[in-house]
Amino acid sequence: MLVFITRRLLFAVGLLLAVSLFTYLLFSMLPADPAALTCGKNCKPDLIEANRVRLGYDKPVLEQYWLFLKGIFAGRTYGTGATAFTCPAPSLGYSFSQHECVTTMIANTFPVTAYLSIGAFVLWMLLGISLGSVAALKRGKWQDRLATTFSAVGVSLPTFYIGLLVLFTVVIWLGLMPFPHYESPFENIVGFFNALILPWLTLAVLSAASYTRLTRNGMLEAMNEDFVRLGIAKGLKRGVILRRYVLRSALVPIVTIAGLDFAALLGGAIITESVFSLPGMGRMSIRAVVESDLPVLVGTTMVAALFIVLANVVVDILYGVLDPRVRTKS
């Protein structure tokens, strides 16, 4: 098992290095000149060139990547002399438009994205698994048709449409709550929930639709397995069979997909944060695109890739724990 985990971790490190190199090279080939974006339209050529040298854009691309990679572990100093400044490790670059280290910007916005992701994840798992279980147990009845309709509608509608629909219905039309304005849970817990309850519902409806269908199909498939028939023949109670065997069997693929979905959500719920004006990583990424802030784009992409790769590693290890055959084949 130790060899299996070590092999998976080494693969994850190699994959992260490959993603970081590809991401850095991709953004470096964009037509925008990072040095020219460090000051306004009336910026003089000598100032642009000075900023190019200070931020390291005068070096070859591969050398820039090496300095970027080195900064993650040892920090990075920009410029020399009295004008020099340092971004401590782990340094993901320096935002020339915000005049702030990218790591600091991510640290300030990541808690909002984390709160949004965790709350939405709990809601969509509860809603999706509950509706899917009811649909499987009431197959062919109105409960099944209602859950199937919810799944079809939820999968078909885009995130921004659901968010705007919820916002218009609850805030503008019915007036049940004020327009969401994010506040830290440590400063105003009521304002915190008021700001996040609608984004949670938006993401929960979108994702729960898929999990409803997955749970329903998984339970129906498990009900036809031989071990379920054997349990019935031995006289086990229906609730025990459903809880210990049918639902548990149906949840194995769902747990895998849920881990990857949660990791992707932690990378930045871009659309939802923009619709509800949440100061998270997703909204920061959109602003970076508008302003062509390449260091922020590289930093947020790396953070999103990190969560997805780590989720894959955790899923692989869990599979190895649950099924020894995975360890022998990998």
Least confident of 17-26, 63-72, 145-154, 222-231: 222-231
134 within 8 A of 147, measured Cβ to Cβ: yes
pLDDT digits (tens, 9 = 90+) for 72-101: 989 988 877 777 888 898 898 888 778 889
Each domain of the chain, given as residue ranges in start order, spans: 114-294
Tokens of 15: 């994959």
pLDDT digits (tens, 9 = 90+) for 130-170: 898 888 888 888 888 988 888 888 888 888 888 888 888 88
Residues 68 and 263: their CA atoms lie apart, in Å, by 24
Residues 24 and 65: their CA atoms lie apart, in Å, by 7
Alpha carbon of 281 to those of 23, 154, 234, 276: distances in Å?
18, 25, 54, 13
Indicate the average pLDDT of the chain.
Answer: 82
Nearest by Cα to 179 from 198, 161, 162: 198
- How would residue 105 be classed by pLDDT, with cut points 50, 70 and 90? very high
Least confident of 155-159, 171-175, 236-240, 306-310: 236-240
94 within 8 A of 285, measured Cβ to Cβ: no
330 within 8 A of 4, measured Cβ to Cβ: yes
Nearest by Cα to 68 from 43, 46, 87, 51: 87
- What CATH superfamily is the domain 114-294? MetI-like (1.10.3720.10)
Q: What was the pLDDT predicted at 111?
A: 92
